[in-house]
A and B are shown apart, each in its own frame.
Chain A
Amino acid sequence: MRFLLDTEQRAFAESLDAMLTAAGTPAVARAWGRGEHAVGRAVWARLAEAGVFALAAPEAYEGVGPLPVELAVAFVELGRHAVPGPLVETVTATVLLAGLDDPGPAERLLPALVSGKAMATVAPAPGSYALDGDAAETRLSLDPAAGGLRLAPGHGPVRPSLDPARRLTHLSPGGELLAPHAPLPHALTWARLAVAAQALGVGLSLLDRTVAYVRQRKQFGVSVGSFQAVKHRLADAKVALEFARPLVFGAAVTLDPVDAAAAKVTACEAAYTTARTALQLHGAIGYTAEYDLSLWLTKARALRTAWGAPAECRDMVLSGGGRRR
């Protein structure tokens, strides 16, 4: 048993971190929210070059996967840098397509997703939102009751999310039937793993930014970070995030749906409570859209319900029946 990232995995995280820092992702996220996708696509292409979208795709379709631990490593960085776009959805689509009995749709659609030439989005049930349907070239709609996976012909109007960088769309009905049955539960496990990792990254960034802020902000003649009430809230955020982290990587190792649900609910709750703390400890400046903190604050809230609200994930945990070994 060796439950630690290895040197290569840590180096992968560091290289993504450096690349995304250089890319200036806050400005990218703001442009994306306005519907200007060009800079976002440029970042996307560089992520693809770094191999991010190959991690969930098998070699048969030009991928290097499945490498769920590396995927979790990457998504923590995507969350830390508030990268916009249908990131989780592209991974989910990859897993869906790669899992079909008929290799045809995967052969046709996956290479473009792996290489970053195309983005994908997924509406997991009829009537549910598909993130960034206006930006994605590959739009998948699922009808779990009827069991079909379709390539949607278009999308409806964009509805803003409370995270300005998330653009909600409905997919147009009909379209080409890709498969009568799609392996949704397995894709859902990957989706939840990716959201959990992204949320962990969002939470870690909120904590880092807040620690830096309270260290330099002075009131009553001292740094705000020397007040115990402030310290203890940040310590609690640290505890919550550090206990979400092993769940995320544990789920990546097992790819068990129960573990993924546990990771999703815990990482999202930790990120969300960290967001509440971050806003409070920044005071009024935290409550402004101009200040970059807002990009992470609103994402923490949105991720909490994306791909399975807390209650749904907890039900999954309970259905798992406790300790499994």
Chain B
Amino acid sequence: MEKRFFVEENAVVIGIGDYRVGSFPMATVGLGSCVALILHDARRSVGGLAHIMLPESRGSPTDRPGKFADTALCALLGEMEALGCTRGSIVARLVGGASMFEYSGTSLNIGERNVEAIRSLLQGRRLRIDAEETGGKFGRSVIYRPAEGGRTTVKRADGICFDL
């Protein structure tokens, strides 16, 4: 409950299934199979981050659009376009989608499916991915700072910390 990696940054922590759009720093703590989808508009220095849990909503109405890849992308784009962002100046970044457990039989590994779903949705909207840190077997935390040119820092479970 203490020892929060990004606390000192005053970032807004985006929990599982949530999303935010704005110019303030946004962070997610300990991504496993979930994926942080960041959409950054370099021209306006604003952007959004969604903490996506599952690849598709299967059409069921949800009060939590951030939870599924398809609804999260719609929600992020909708809010960003309302702020005046245009499709052409938006780039995407993906972080997470790990496979945390090796399990015989049941699969706890939704990470890969999440990443694939988001990639194909982005392609469908003609949005370019300019950086990605996905897959593997370890967790990651990420902080995204729209106002600082969209600087995106990833911290991996092995302690390695770097800018995307």
- Whether chain B is bound by chain A comes out as no
